[in-house]
Amino acid sequence: MNNLPYSEKVMDHFTNPRNVGEIPDASGVGTVGNPICGDVMKMFIKIDNGIIVDAKFKTFGCGAAVATSSMVTEMVKGKSIEEALKISNKAVAEALGGLPPIKMHCSVLAEEALRSALADYYKKIGKEPPFTITEHKHEHGH
């Protein structure tokens, strides 16, 4: 146990983030900003035969954003696009052992960066993405 509001897994992925960097010949790149805090995340994915074979990210953001991007890039590797689209920000937060409620919006950034990178991939291959990119809704009252 630690006495921080973050799980050991969050601390681990924050201090030792996986998959930081860029993929020069990425199949899709997505950049999203979090309107709540102004943090920015860029995600790169490499797709081969419908399977995500590599994922990397760069985040100009808080610790929870770094940890969730790190986790989501780990989670999508080896998955099909359909499977990757099913990864919700809640699943990412759960995989990290939970996030404080006030930091849940940070995990939304990771989910949206992934979807945005996938949308970019569809654009590059000249197809309509079979999903919609959700616009950020401001959540009040938390």
Q: Which stretch binds ligand FES (CB under 6 A): 24-32, 33-41, 84-92, 93-101?
A: 33-41
User: Which parts of 16-103 fold into alpha helices (H)?
Assistant: 63-76, 81-85, 89-95
The yes or no reply on residue 11 touching ligand FES (CB under 6 A) is no
Cβ 92 to ligand FES shortest distance, Å: 13
The yes or no reply on residue 119 touching ligand FES (CB under 6 A) is no
Q: Which stretch binds ligand FES (CB under 6 A): 62-70, 79-87, 90-98, 112-120?
A: 62-70
Residue 25 structure tokens: 């010949």
Binding ligand FES (rule: CB under 6 A), the pick from 7, 27, 32, 39 is: 39
Phi/psi of residue 48, nearest 5 degrees: -135, 120
**Whether residue 62 lies in the annotated active site:** no
User: Which parts of the chain fold into alpha helices (H)?
Assistant: 8-15, 63-76, 81-85, 89-95, 104-124
- DSSP letter at 13? H
The yes or no reply on residue 64 touching ligand FES (CB under 6 A) is yes
Binding ligand FES (rule: CB under 6 A), the pick from 26, 29, 52, 65 is: 65
Closest CA to 88 of 59, 66, 68, 62: 68
Token pair 């689209």 is at which residue? Answer: 85
Q: Which of 11, 20, 36, 37 is catalytic?
A: 37
Cβ 113 to ligand FES shortest distance, Å: 11
- Residue pair 76/87 in contact (Cβ under 8 Å)? The answer is yes
The yes or no reply on residue 99 touching ligand FES (CB under 6 A) is no
Distance from C-alpha of 96 to C-alpha of 112, rounded to nearest angstrom: 17
Note the residues at the interface with ligand FES (CB under 6 A): 34, 37, 39, 61-62, 64-65, 103, 106, 109
